[in-house]
Amino acid sequence: MKGKERILYSEEAIKERVGEMGKAIDAYYNGKEVLVIGLLRGSFVFCSDLVRAMESKMEIDFMTTSSYEDEFSSSGDVKLFSDLRADVKGRDVLIVDDIIDTGHTLETVVKSIRALEPASVKTAVMLDKPSRREVDFSADFTGFTIDDVFIVGYGLNYGPYYRNKPYIYTYED
Ligand code: 5GP
Ligand code: MG
């Protein structure tokens, strides 16, 4: 991508918001044990910050998802690579992803987790692009709601790069 970086959320702003989300999620579970499932690769940064902002007793596991046919357009054809070690049956599951865009990824993951008979399934995302939604799905806990812009950093990639940037940004010409 060409142009100048435009920071949408600084490292400080992200930290503050993730702290609030951790408290809200703890309050929701109210002492219950949580099975956190982070979706790789995009959520690895958010998930590691979120779980450290939470005090609930938890087990942490991961699934790999992939939906992009090319770099910018998501497709309804979501691929799940599940290597879950945790036993899901009867557990209170919190699925964590970086961003909800068309909604296909989270809808597909929630469906596959429900088939394993958890006690409950909730979802947490750092970012939400509601204007892009193609399915009737919304996350239970959301960090920031954004317009339809392609963003990078804080786990989100452009090609194979920039997931390590500690802030969330876009490019402007
Ligand atoms: P959905 O299935 O909701 O359309 O897409 C979710 C996935 O698309 C996210 O986990 C993320 O990998 C990718 N995605 C959606 N919007 C963006 C974006 O603005 N930037 C980047 N880097 N990835 C995005
Ligand atoms: Mg992703």
Ligand 1 proximity of 127 Cβ (cutoff 6 Å): no
Mean pLDDT on 4-8:
94
**Cα 62 to Cα 36: distance, rounded to the nearest angstrom:** 8
**Residue 104 Cβ < 6 Å to ligand 1:** yes
- Tell which atom from ligand 1 comes closest to the C-alpha of 129: 16
pLDDT at 173: 72
- Ligand 2 centroid distance, CA of 54 (Å): 22
What whole-number distance in Å separates Cα of residue 56 and Cα of residue 29?
7
What is the model's pLDDT at position 148? 95
pLDDT score of 172 more than 90: no
For residues 56 and 30, the answer to whether their CB atoms sit within 8 Å is no
Q: Is 101 exposed, middle or buried (0-12, 13-18, 19+ CB in 10 A)?
A: buried
pLDDT in tens, 156-167: 999 899 999 999
Quote the ligand 2 centre to 80 CA distance (angstroms). Answer: 11
Ligand with the closest atom to the CA of 78? 1
User: What is the spatial distance between Cα 129 and Cα 134, in angstroms, rounded to a whole number?
Assistant: 11
Residue type, 86: A
Please write the tens of the pLDDT for every residue from 71-130. Answer: 555 667 888 888 899 999 999 999 999 999 999 999 999 999 999 999 999 999 999 999
* pLDDT given at position 83: 83
> What is the C-alpha to C-alpha distance for residues 24 and 30, in angstroms, rounded to an integer?
10
Angle between helices 44-52 and 11-29 (to 10 degrees): 60
**Residue 171 confidence (pLDDT):** 87
Q: How does pLDDT run across 27-86, given as a tens digit for each residue?
A: 999 999 999 999 999 999 999 999 999 999 999 999 999 876 555 556 678 888 888 999
pLDDT of 14 strictly over 70 = yes
The domain made up of 11-150 has a fold known as Rossmann fold (3.40.50)
Instruction: Determine whether the shortest distance from the Cβ of 36 to ligand 1 is under 6 A.
Output: no
Inter-residue contact 84 to 63 (CB < 8 Å): yes
Instruction: Say if residues 126 and 46 touch (Cβ distance below 8 Å).
Output: yes
Q: Where are the domains positioned within the chain?
A: 11-150
